């Protein structure tokens, strides 16, 4: 029995070492990716703005930042980690910071005003648009919300949702997903290490148990057997004595 326990314990310890090796390998790969993302973020040097009290601001106002956070949390349903919005480290290099920056670009695009100049009169669905200059409110329209055939909406869409805006949103989205994936990678590396450590401890425990000396081995006294209790049937009679006359 002890030999089997030793074998099982050794197998568990070896499996644990394999899991720990996998955890170390995963950690090294994730660390390399995190270093690369940090270098990329530092090269871009995009930072968030905070006031003297450490509150997030946009274009100088706290209200502007709150409106962007509302878009991010309420409309896009993104779980912002406020701990990642650190005034002591304003560099955009975490998932929440990338998403906030993406929401900033989208917010100002959605609430912008575009100037449309018609060089000639145009008619659309029975409505006449004389030649001239128009101010068109985007009013929360995304790329697909515009009527491309409309004399004002069509040009306004091209002016609002430019290639630069789409490129910035795509780039920031990649940064956010990369940061989130790296966090998941750290978690997987830690999980592998934890499983490996648990397996090693269990294996060593089995080996330790199997090393217990068996009864009868030199230096180990056998436990004396318990004496049987007398039963009711086994009655002892005291010897009778008679007085001699």
DSSP labels for 153-213? HHHHHHHHS-HHHHHHHHHHHHHHHHHHHHHHHHHHHHHHHHHHHHHHHHHHHHHHHHTSP
**pLDDT tens by residue, 164-202:** 999 999 999 999 999 999 999 999 999 999 999 999 999
Query: pLDDT tens digits for 38-97?
Result: 999 999 899 999 999 999 999 999 999 999 999 999 999 999 999 999 999 999 999 999
- Position 245 scores a pLDDT of 42
Question: What count of residues does the chain have?
Answer: 245
pTM: 0.78
Angle between helices 163-210 and 2-44 (to 10 degrees): 160
Distance CA 229, CA 191 (A): 57
Reply yes or no on whether the pLDDT at 151 is more than 80.
Answer: yes
Read off the pLDDT band of 230 (50, 70, 90). Answer: low
């Amino acid at each position: 029995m002890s030999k089997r326990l030793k074998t099982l314990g050794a197998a568990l310890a070896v499996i644990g070492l394999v899991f720990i090796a996998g955890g170390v390998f995963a950690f090294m790969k994730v660390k390399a990716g995190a270093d690369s993302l940090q270098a990329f973020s530092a090269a871009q040097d995009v930072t968030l703005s905070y006031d003297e009290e450490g509150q997030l601001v946009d274009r100088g106002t706290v209200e502007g930042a709150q409106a962007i956070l509302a878009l991010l949390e309420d409309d896009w349903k993104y779980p912002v980690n406020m701990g990642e919005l650190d005034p002591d480290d304003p560099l955009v290099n975490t998932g929440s910071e990338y998403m906030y920056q993406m929401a900033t670009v989208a917010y100002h695009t959605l609430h912008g005003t575009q100037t449309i100049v018609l060089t000639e009169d145009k008619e659309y669905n029975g409505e006449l648009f004389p030649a001239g200059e128009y101010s068109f409110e985007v009013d929360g329209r995304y790329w697909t919300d515009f009527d491309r055939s409309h004399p004002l909406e069509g040009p306004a869409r091209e002016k609002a949702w430019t290639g630069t805006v789409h490129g910035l949103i795509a780039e920031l989205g990649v940064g956010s997903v990369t940061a989130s994936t790296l966090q998941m990678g750290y978690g997987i590396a830690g999980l592998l290490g934890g499983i490996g450590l648990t397996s090693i401890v269990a294996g060593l425990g089995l080996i330790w148990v199997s090393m217990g000396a068996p009864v009868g081995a030199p230096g180990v006294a056998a436990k004396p057997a318990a004496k049987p209790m007398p039963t009711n049937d086994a009655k002892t009679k005291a010897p009778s004595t008679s007085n001699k006359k």
